[in-house]
Every structure is written in structure tokens, then in C-alpha cells.
Amino acid sequence: MSDLNPDAAAYAGKLRVRVCGICLQENKLLLVRHSHTLGNTAFWAPPGGGLHYGETMQACLRREFAEETGLQVTVGRFLFVNEFLQPPLHAVEFFFEVKPVGGTMITGTDPESAADRQLIQEVQWLTIREIQRIPTTDKHRTLQHLLSLDDLLGLPHNFMA
């Protein structure tokens, strides 16, 4: 039996397609702190969430940023793909560069979850040093070995707009 947070049980036992945003501003990365999920005490990750049938990745990312952070964003270039596989959770995550263009930052909610079952606890801009101080098990795999926030921006490519 796993130590999966019961509030995350809706995501278990199925493959999810997620779209996530790398949002940098003044040498800080925008991150969302979730309550514990599986094998951790908290879970820090870039904003993002599940892609709905018929929704474009860009529309999903704009919706997720609004829901989780209160910010309106423009979606830039595709950066990378990450596969998260830690049974019973499995997700394929597409990361894009995003820039805030409006809204007011808040600690948002996940509309699919009841008010008393929310995983989102905090939204915060963090420096590379602050991210490095978070225990490895408490942060998204893409954040675990960063030497610089620029590491998240990858190399230029031409296969996706």
C-alpha cells in the first residue's frame, strides 16, 4: 500500500497528459507548493495541469495558470517533455515557456477538487538558491538538479511553435 495522499487519489491508476509552464521573472521561477502527494512532505512544481479532450495545450496552460496562480499568461515556445512514473501516478508532461501579461497572483484552487480536498497550498516566486534548499523528494524532477534557472529553458529548436 502506498502513502498516496487521498486527495490525489483521483489521479491514480491512469495515464494523464499534463501541460506545465516555466515562468521566469527577475531571476525567480514561479512554483506551486502542493500538500504531500507520494513519498514526500510537500510537492513544489511549476504551474500546470491536465489537458482536457478537445483543448489545445496552449489553452490548457492559460486555464491552469489562471486557476492555480490568478495570472494571465502568453504561451511561448515548447521546452521539453517529462515522464513522471511513480505508481500509482503516471503523467506525461509537456513544458512551455510562459510570460505573465495580467492578473493578480493568488494561491488558486483546482476546480476538479472539493474545497476541503485541495492540494494547492501556496504559489511563490523562488530563486535558484531557494529551490536548491527544498528537499529533493519535495520538488518536481525537473527542479531536482538545477544549477541555474536557465537550465529550464533548453536549447533553441524549430519543431514546435
What secondary structure does DSSP assign to 94-117, as a single string?
EEEEEEEEEE-------TTS-GGG
**pLDDT the model gives residue 161:** 39
Other CB atoms within a 10 A radius of the CB of residue 17 amount to 14
The full set of domain ranges for the chain reads 6-153
**How far is Cα 54 from Cα 153, in angstroms, rounded to an integer?**
27
Under 8 Å CB-to-CB from 42, ≥6 apart: which residues? 33, 34, 35, 36, 121, 138
Is the domain spanning 6-153 CATH 3.40.50.300? The answer is no
**pLDDT the model gives residue 158:** 46
What are the cell numbers at 74?
502568453
Summarize pLDDT for 40-53 with one digit per residue, the tens. 889 999 999 999 99
3-state DSSP call for residue 35? strand
3-state DSSP call for residue 90? strand
Statement: residue 1 has pLDDT above 70:
no
Task: Find cell 513544489 and name the residue.
Answer: 44
Summarize pLDDT for 76-127 with one digit per residue, the tens. 999 999 998 888 989 999 999 999 999 999 999 888 777 777 789 999 999 9
